[in-house]
Amino acid sequence: MYRTYKYLLRPYTEQVKSLDFLLWQSRLVYNAALQQRINTYKETGKGVGYGAQWSHFRNVRHDNPDTLGKLNASSLQHLLRRLDKSFAGFFRRLKIGEKPGFPRYKGSSRFNSLEYTYNDGCKLRQDEKGRKSFYVQNVGEMRMCYHRAIPTDAEIKHIVLKRVGERWYVCLMLKLPDTGIHQVQTDQQIGIDVGLKNLAALSTGELIENPHWLRESLAKLRRLQRHASRQVKGSNHQRKTYHQIARLHEHVANQRADFLHKISNRLIAGNDLIAIENLSPRFMNRNRHLSLSSHDAGFGLFRQMLEYKAESAGIQVIAVNASNTTQACSECGSIVPKGLSVRVHACPNCGLVLDRDINAARNILTMALLPPLGRSGQAVTWAVAPCVA
């Protein structure tokens, strides 16, 4: 079982300079490697693989000890693999008929992380008082907010140093042994319908409201952006405003994650089976207004949290095809057509009156409990023929 633990670093000014330098060198290599792939293809009609690029840049690194040489060798390998992956993804998507974007050159604002193999140019250290710090080669020992203990039986596989705004974090990828100890069975099952009006509707009848922090912060954000656009380009004042904007974005992301953690923990603790809709992000992002809301509500993050926490707790998360979950009656199965603005499900067949999202959540749970064939959506035939209201 793999988990990522993220810690805030507190580097000194000199250390931040060193980190920025490493990031800058990495970005130059990334762009140069991309250039190399493009040029080689143009000249020879053949691609360059990871292996060839590694031997090329390994030599460049040896010849330039003061610039690229400062970058750890395994970090350089991770970097070239990252490019390799983006090409692999590009060709894979091309093959299945999608329209992927070609891998891009990275500007300084789009390149924010360094990868290391643990124990190779980086290490978690502890002083005699038990304080933890994080050592990185050519940066030094950085203070670290060790807010969460790493389990003693965990193995640190690799690490990512990440710049968010003007802060630095270290993400430790841990391999944890599966203890086989899971939470006590509750015999409860729950269906969840994620929505825009409410973050989630539960089959138990509970509605979890969408806090819409981002929307509130957006007004503030827009004000700041307008302010920045009127400031002298490249001035210190403008730089400060951009800093404020970045901090605000980070703050909102933290609030959102915190809220979703609390809800997902509660849902996992109280149930043995969780049924959710299988929403495609592409569908949600197609509509500009919808995509803002879905981003705001953090659907993808919510599902991720449910899935990995379920794995730890030893419970099941089943994603069902969402077709008909809104229209069908969760009591008798009649199809009750309703537009987007109709918030209440009122069944003319059995007389059930329910919030439309809760009705959908109940349907999602029903579908998850059907034999596996039913989960794909095609095999589900509702008991009663559609009734026309």
Contact flag: residue 328 with Zn ion (CB under 5 A):
no
* Residue choice 68, 76, 329, 364 for contact with Zn ion (CB under 5 A): 329
Helix (H, G, I), strand (E, B) or coil at 107: coil
Q: Which is nearer to Zn ion, 322 or 328 (CB)?
A: 328
Q: Which is nearer to Zn ion, 221 or 346 (CB)?
A: 346
CA separation, residue 191 to residues 206, 244, 257, 267, 271 (Å): 11, 40, 21, 10, 10
Dist CA 24 CA 20 (whole Å) = 6
- Give the interface size with Zn ion as a residue count (CB under 5 A): 8
**CB of 101 closer than 8 Å to CB of 89:** no
Q: Which is nearer to Zn ion, 47 or 351 (CB)?
A: 351
**Residue the block writes with tokens 């579908």:** 367
Shortest reach from residue 327's CB to Zn ion, in Å: 11
Q: Which is nearer to Zn ion, 307 or 331 (CB)?
A: 331
* Residue 66, C-beta contacts closer than 8 angstroms, at least 6 positions apart: none
Closest-CA residue to 344 (of 389, 287, 381): 389
Q: x/- site string to Zn ion, residues 276 to 315, per CB under 5 A?
A: ----------------------------------------
CA separation, residue 210 to residues 34, 174, 197, 317, 376 (Å): 42, 32, 7, 22, 28
**CB of 357 closer than 8 Å to CB of 201:** yes
Helix (H, G, I), strand (E, B) or coil at 214: helix
Shortest reach from residue 333's CB to Zn ion, in Å: 7
Dist CA 389 CA 374 (whole Å) = 27
Contact region with Zn ion (CB under 5 A), list: 31-39, 120-128, 182-190, 333-341: 333-341
Contact region with Zn ion (CB under 5 A), list: 239-247, 269-277, 309-317, 329-337: 329-337
Dist CA 194 CA 276 (whole Å) = 8
Q: Which is nearer to Zn ion, 154 or 346 (CB)?
A: 346
Contact region with Zn ion (CB under 5 A), list: 83-91, 112-120, 334-342, 354-362: 334-342
Q: x/- site string to Zn ion, residues 335 to 354, per CB under 5 A?
A: ------------x-xx-x--
Q: Which is nearer to Zn ion, 53 or 359 (CB)?
A: 359
Q: Which is nearer to Zn ion, 306 or 329 (CB)?
A: 329
* Residue choice 331, 369, 376, 387 for contact with Zn ion (CB under 5 A): 331
What ranges in 271-355 are assigned the alpha helix state H? 281-286, 288-297, 299-313
Closest-CA residue to 268 (of 372, 184, 179): 184
Residues within the interface to Zn ion (CB under 5 A): 329, 331-332, 334, 347, 349-350, 352
